[in-house]
């Protein structure tokens, strides 16, 4: 009886959230935390938690396609995960390979035209995982409706360090002029080249930190962040919609801030026409009840 009530409440809440959300971020990045703790609380082994988490990943990919999200990045295996016990590591390697093959052959992936890309120091992974990575990328390379980035053997600092070494080597060899190094240079050398700026980071499992995840694309873009307590295998569509609502609230706040700054500029200029041009460039309009500054004498007059 209680389960039925809970499901009914979630269904109602999901409909409410859908009505509150007017759009969706272009790029969502997720730190899938809590698989092992989920397994422990259910009296299971760590591998069972990871397998349950893999099922959640499949559902989230489906939600992204439904909502029109263009890019999803999941933190599947960090550089720190190499320090885990050998038995757990080997199971993770097996699961990663299995799921990459499974995703690449999935009817839904092909129907939704999902392009699978893998980010990270993949040369550190066992041969079976590297073969699965190659298979998944080759079999979905022609798609561009939704991009799924799978971060494997990934660490944000390691990625930036690799780019720094690469740029330094080219400068030392005379193939690159130091003054020509710009944002595009860095992005073109990051794993798989440029991706969309991260709009929203989601972390499950209760911890409130971003764990060295996509610093160039997330921190540089001041992405919205949503922390939630459910372990990754428990992450629901309601949780996902709440995360998107957080993103929309932040975007609305930024739009208001930009409009307020533009209004201040209008008043400083005392020029309604020029002020409205500034607002138009920002994609904003003056509120109906907000008067434009009248012309005033300049301090020098």
Closest by alpha carbon to 81, among 120, 44, 48, 43?
Answer: 120
> How many CB atoms within 10 Å of residue 144?
11
What is the Cβ-side half-sphere exposure of residue 226, based on CA atoms within 13 angstroms? 26
> How many CB atoms within 10 Å of residue 152?
28
Asked whether the CA dihedral 149, 153, 158, 163 is positive or negative, the reply is: negative
Show Cβ contacts of residue 266 under 8 Å, excluding neighbours closer than 6 positions: 272, 274, 275, 276, 278, 279, 286, 292, 293
Residue 42's alpha-carbon distances to 6, 37, 232, in angstroms, are 20, 9, 14
Q: For this structure, is 35 an active site residue? A: no
Closest by alpha carbon to 266, among 257, 277, 254?
Answer: 277
Strand partners, 147: 71, 115
Tokens of residue 97, six digits: 């390979």
Choice among 48, 81, 162, 170 that is catalytic: 81
Distance CA 1, CA 8 (A): 11
Distance CA 84, CA 90 (A): 10
Radius of gyration over every alpha carbon of the chain, rounded to an integer in angstroms: 23
Tokens of residue 222, six digits: 């001041």
Q: For this structure, is 221 an active site residue? A: no
Distance CA 146, CA 144 (A): 6
Choice among 33, 35, 149, 212 that is catalytic: 33
Distance CA 269, CA 278 (A): 11
Q: Do 71 and 28 contact (CB within 8 A), yes or no?
A: yes
Please give the positions annotated as active site: 33, 81
């Amino acid at each position: 009886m209680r389960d039925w009530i809970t499901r009914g409440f979630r269904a109602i809440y999901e409909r409410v959230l859908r009505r509150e959300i007017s759009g969706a971020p272009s790029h969502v990045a997720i730190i899938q935390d809590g698989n092992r703790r989920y397994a422990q609380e259910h009296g299971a082994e760590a591998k069972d938690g990871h397998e349950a988490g893999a099922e959640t990943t499949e559902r989230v990919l489906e939600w992204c396609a439904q909502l029109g999200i263009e890019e999803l990045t999941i933190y599947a295996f960090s550089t720190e995960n190499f320090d885990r016990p050998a038995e757990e590591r080997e199971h993770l390697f097996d699961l990663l390979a299995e799921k990459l093959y499974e995703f690449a052959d999935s009817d839904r992936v092909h129907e939704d035209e999902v392009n699978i890309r893998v980010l990270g120091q993949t040369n550190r992974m066992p041969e079976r995982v590297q073969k699965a990575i190659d298979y998944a990328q080759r079999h979905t390379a022609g798609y561009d409706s939704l991009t799924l980035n799978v971060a494997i053997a990934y660490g944000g600092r390691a990625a930036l360090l690799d780019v720094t070494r690469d740029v330094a080597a080219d400068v030392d060899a005379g193939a690159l002029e130091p003054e020509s190094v710009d944002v595009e240079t860095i992005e073109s050398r990051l794993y798989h080249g440029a991706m969309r700026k991260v709009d929203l980071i989601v972390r499950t499992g209760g911890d409130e930190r971003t764990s060295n995840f996509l610093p160039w694309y997330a921190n540089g873009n001041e992405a919205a962040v949503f922390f939630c307590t459910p372990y990754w295998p428990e992450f629901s569509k309601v949780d996902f919609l709440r995360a998107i609502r957080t993103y929309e609230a932040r975007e609305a706040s930024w739009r208001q801030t930009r409009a307020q700054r533009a209004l201040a500029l209008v008043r400083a200029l005392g020029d309604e026409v020029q002020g409205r041009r500034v607002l138009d460039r920002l994609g904003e309009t003056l509120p109906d009840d907000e008067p434009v500054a009248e012309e005033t004498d300049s301090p020098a007059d």
